[in-house]
Amino acid sequence: MVNPRRLQRRRRSIANIRKITRTMELIATARFKRALERVHAASAYTQRITRIVQRLATAGLEVSHPLLEPREEVRSARVLVLTSNRGLCGGYNANVLRAALPHWEECQKLPQAALEVSGKRGISFFRFRQIVPDQEYLHLAEKPTFDEVERLAEGYLEQFTAGELDRLDVVYTRFLSTAQQQVVVETLLPMSQLEEEPAAKKKPQEEETPAARGVVPYEFLPSAASILEQIVPVSFKTRLFKCFLDAVVSEQIARMVAMKAATENAEELLKNITRQYNRARQSRITSELLDVMGGVEALRGSS
Amino acid sequence: MAEALGAAKEQLRCVVVTPEDTVVDQPARFVALPLYDGELGVAPLRQPLVGRLGYGQLRIRHDGQTDSYYVDGGFVEVADNVVSILTSRAVPAEQIDIEEVREQLQAVSQRKTTDADSTEQKHQAMRRLQAQLRVAEKARG
Same domain, B63 and B121: no
Contact B30, B12 (CB under 8 A): yes
DSSP category for residue B80: T
pLDDT value of residue B21: 87
A50 occurs within a structural domain: yes
Contact A52 B88 (CB under 8 A): no
Q: Which domain holds residue A153?
A: 34-255
Contact B19, A45 (CB under 8 A): yes
Q: Spell out the alpha helix ranges (H) of A86-173.
A: 92-107, 120-128, 146-161
User: With 60 as the cut, is the pLDDT of residue A201 above it?
Assistant: no
Q: pLDDT tier at A257 (50, 70, 90 boundaries)?
A: very high
* Long-range contacts from A291-294, C-beta under 8 angstroms, 24+ separation: none
A248 occurs within a structural domain: yes
User: With 70 as the cut, is the pLDDT of residue A219 above it?
Assistant: yes
Residues A60-93: b if buried by 16+ CB within 10 A, e if exposed: ebeeebebbeeeeebebbbbbbbbbbeeebbebb
Q: pLDDT tier at A202 (50, 70, 90 boundaries)?
A: very low
pTM: 0.84
Residue in A146, A219, A222 nearest the CB of B48: A219
Q: Which of B20, B33, B46, B81 would you mutate first to test chain A, the one with the most A CBs within 10 A?
A: B20
Contact A56 B47 (CB under 8 A): no
Would you write out chain B's pLDDT as a tens digit for each of its 141 residues?
A: 444 454 445 789 999 999 988 899 999 999 999 998 889 999 998 888 999 999 999 999 988 889 999 998 899 999 889 999 999 889 999 888 889 999 999 999 888 888 888 888 888 889 889 999 989 888 876
A28 occurs within a structural domain: no
pLDDT tens track for A168-183 = 999 999 999 999 999 9
Same domain, B41 and B24: yes
DSSP category for residue B20: S
* Long-range contacts from B97-100, C-beta under 8 angstroms, 24+ separation: B97/B136, B98/B133, B98/B136, B98/B137, B98/B140
On chain B, the residues whose CB falls within 8 A of the CB of A241 are 19
Contact A153, A238 (CB under 8 A): no
On chain B, the residues whose CB falls within 8 A of the CB of A52 are 50, 75, 77, 86
pLDDT tens track for A66-76 = 888 888 888 89
Residues A3-42: b if buried by 16+ CB within 10 A, e if exposed: ebeebeeebeebeebbeebbebbeebbebbeebbebeebb
On chain B, the residues whose CB falls within 8 A of the CB of A218 are 48-50, 79
Q: Which domain holds residue B107?
A: 94-140
Q: What is the CATH number of the domain that holds B85?
A: 2.60.15.10
Same domain, B49 and B64: yes
**C-alpha to C-alpha distance for B127 and B55, rounded to whole angstroms:** 8
Average pLDDT over residues A293-302: 87
B72 occurs within a structural domain: yes
Q: Which residues contact B2 (CB under 8 A, 6 or more apart)?
A: none
pLDDT value of residue A303: 64
A266 occurs within a structural domain: no
A279 occurs within a structural domain: no
Rg of chain A in Å (alpha carbons): 30
B2 occurs within a structural domain: no
Q: What stretch of H or E contains A297?
A: helix A224-302
Interface of chain B against chain A, CB under 8 Å? 17-22, 35-37, 40, 47-52, 74-75, 77, 79-80, 84, 86, 88
pLDDT value of residue A128: 94
B83 occurs within a structural domain: yes
pLDDT tens track for A119-147 = 999 999 999 999 999 999 998 888 899 99
Q: pLDDT tier at A273 (50, 70, 90 boundaries)?
A: very high
What is the chain B residue with the closest CA to A149? B19
Preceding peptide of A190 cis, ω within 30°: yes
What is the chain A residue with the closest CA to B117? A158
pLDDT value of residue A184: 93
What is the chain A residue with the closest CA to B81? A212
Among A101-105, A156-160, A297-301, B73-77, where is mean pLDDT lowest?
Answer: A297-301
Same domain, B113 and B127: yes
pLDDT tens track for A153-166 = 999 999 998 888 99
User: With 80 as the cut, is the pLDDT of residue A259 above it?
Assistant: yes
Same domain, B68 and B20: yes
Strands B30-35 and B22-28: unpaired
Residue in A48, A221, A241 nearest the CB of B84: A48
pLDDT value of residue B8: 47
User: With 70 as the cut, is the pLDDT of residue A194 above it?
Assistant: no
Average pLDDT over residues A5-31: 95
* CA distance, residue A62 to nearest chain B CA (Å): 17
Q: What is the CATH number of the domain that holds A198?
A: 3.40.1380.10
pLDDT value of residue A20: 96
Percent of chain A exceeding pLDDT 70 equals 90
Contact B24, A52 (CB under 8 A): no
HSE at residue A113, side-chain half, CA atoms within 13 A, is: 16
Preceding peptide of A102 cis, ω within 30°: no
Number of domains in chain A: 1
Task: Give the residue from B62, B77, B93 where a domain finishes.
Answer: B93
Average pLDDT over residues A231-260: 93
B81 occurs within a structural domain: yes
Q: Is A139 exposed, middle or buried (0-12, 13-18, 19+ CB in 10 A)?
A: exposed
A95 occurs within a structural domain: yes
A145 occurs within a structural domain: yes
Beta strands in chain B (DSSP E): 12-17, 22-28, 30-35, 38-42, 49-62, 65-79, 82-86, 90-92
Same domain, B15 and B51: yes
Same domain, B70 and B124: no
Contact B19 A230 (CB under 8 A): no
Same domain, B82 and B23: yes
Contact B101, B132 (CB under 8 A): yes
Phi, psi of A261 (to 5 degrees): -60, -40
Taken in order A221, A224, A230, A235, the sign of the CA dihedral is: positive
Task: Give the residue from B59, B76, B93 where a domain finishes.
Answer: B93
Contact B37 A222 (CB under 8 A): yes
**ipTM for the complex?**
0.81
pLDDT value of residue B111: 85
Contact A220 B37 (CB under 8 A): no
Number of domains in chain B: 2
Q: Using alpha carbons, list the distances in angstroms from residue B45 to A32, A52, A165, B8, B42.
A: 41, 19, 46, 9, 9
What is the chain A residue with the closest CA to B49? A219
pLDDT value of residue A26: 96
